[in-house]
Structure 1
């Protein structure tokens, strides 16, 4: 049994059609798992289902052997699941440090120590700690979003399109930071459009098509799979 897993998840939004169908996603601590696929494949929906933002019609979500399918998103966060959405993932009008402090609102102690840990992980944030986040570059803002999500010391970090809208150089830097986070023994699940680059840093990956698991395997296996290459990696 994996540390964090969505098992045969089926569901959609409201009374609409199912977006995901019998979808399986799992991740262990100290592992990066990528969710890939074309637009509309259900990638973000699968992640939201695991976070509790989508009510499943069937299937379950388990964390460290416990069924958390009926828990609210807030209770899942308290259990150690942290989520960085693609947009609106920072407080742009506040400083870097204030964003980190808000990320640590659930902490009862050790706030200063954790902020210093984040500064070690993302040195630019220490340098810019008094700067308004809205004045930072896109890559720096994403580091703030990652740092804020880590302030609660989660066991699971979920990232929705972490490199959306940044340059290739910044994308590489962000992926390097995600690898650093993985080394802190966090289970990382990320939805990513930059499939090749994501698979290069991922331990495992899932390719979804119309809400169903189409391919899965190690990052290396998926990169070398002829059908995956032809259909999803541009040759």
Structure 2
């Protein structure tokens, strides 16, 4: 059974002009799905609509089989759907530990996050604004994980990071998804990195899913992604 499901979701910032159209998604617990696509395809718009920060004009989002009301971000978060935005949304004037403590119910929750991101152990007293880009991304993801989400949306994980740094973080995303049974939807521009950590990948082009396939198959034949980016024949629903 899918943990995160959306059916026929259309969304956009301008009424009557959706930039995301009729999107269907199913992500199971423990599964990582990479959402790829060119700039302007609507990836961030889709994530913000799923998270309730933007109303979807049509369609329905379900978490664990229960419908989530449109444009109710706080309610979605309470039910376990959490977004890590591309700007990371950290409290830069607070320390690493304080950023985690704001959402942690127990010290054990923070200890759990540090097990996933041990590089943060020596940075607990450092203000978030003074962390490196990689450390900030670890903290942003860790803060989201403190709440024990059922579904995690990550927007542009590698933005501003060296490929080697992103490559070091991505395996942890898969580890977390499996160990904590979280459905993960990952928006990523670096295709090779995304496919290395994902179970499946979808390509969003002009607001529609142009391709959906197991990541392993796309690694073996990257021309399918190139064709989708260039507006080739849609393979939506391909297994």
TM-score (norm 1): 0.91
CA displacement 1:62-81 (0-9 Å, x = unmatched): 11111113461100100011
Aligned partner of 2:224 in structure 1 is: 227
Runs of 4+ in 1 over 6 A off after TM superposition: none
Give the aligned partner of residue 52 of structure 1.
52
Deviations 1:22-46 (CA, angstroms, capped at 9, x unpaired): 1112211101011111111111111
**Distance of 2:70 and 2:9 partners within structure 1:** 13
Tell me the alpha carbon deviations over residues 68-123 of structure 1, each in whole angstroms, 9 at most, x when there is no partner: 1346110010001111101142111111100001132xx4xxx1110111111111
After the TM superposition, which of the residue ranges 120-129 and 158-167 deviates more from structure 2? 120-129
Q: How many equivalent pairs are there?
A: 228
Secondary structure of the equivalent of 1:18? Answer: coil
Cα shift at 1:227: 2.9
Alpha-carbon distance in structure 2 between the residues aligned to 1:213 and 1:92: 36
CA distance in structure 1 between the aligned counterparts of 2:95 and 2:222, rounded to whole angstroms: 45
| Root-mean-square deviation over aligned CA pairs | 1.7
Deviation at 1:179, TM superposition (A): 2.1
The equivalent of 1:24 in structure 2 is 24
Contact between 2:5 and 2:24, CA under 8 Å: does it hold in 1? yes
Are the equivalent residues in 2 in contact too, given 1:195–1:232 (CA < 8 A)?
A: no
Say yes or no: does 1:209 pair with 2:205: yes
Q: How far does residue 3 in structure 1 lie from its aligned partner after superposition?
A: 1.3
Q: 1:231 to 1:66 in 2, by over 3 A?
A: closer
CA distance in 2, matches of 1:176, 1:201: 6
1:182 to 171, 177, 182: 177
Are 1:158 and 2:158 counterparts?
no
Q: Distance in 2 between matches of 1:20 and 1:83?
A: 18
Shifted more, 219-228 versus 56-65: the winner is 219-228
Given that residues 10 and 57 in structure 2 are in contact (C-alpha distance below 8 angstroms), is that contact kept between their aligned partners in structure 1? yes
Q: Secondary structure at the match of 2:9?
A: strand
Moved more, 34-43 or 125-134: 125-134
- Tell me by how many angstroms 1:47 deviates: 1.2
Partner deviation per Cα, 1:145-178 (whole Å, 9 max, x = no partner)? 1111111111111100011010111011111221
- Where do 1:79-118 residues align within 5 Å? 79-104=79-104, 107=105, 111-118=106-113
Instruction: Please give the TM-score of this superposition, normalised by the length of structure 2.
Output: 0.90
2:6 aligned with 1:6, yes or no?
Answer: yes
Structure-2 separation of matches of 1:74 and 1:40: 26
Aligned to 2:163: 168
The answer to whether the 8 Å contact 2:63/2:81 transfers is no
Write out per-residue CA displacement over residues 183-206 of structure 1, whole angstroms, 9 at most, x where no aligned residue: 322111111111121012101111
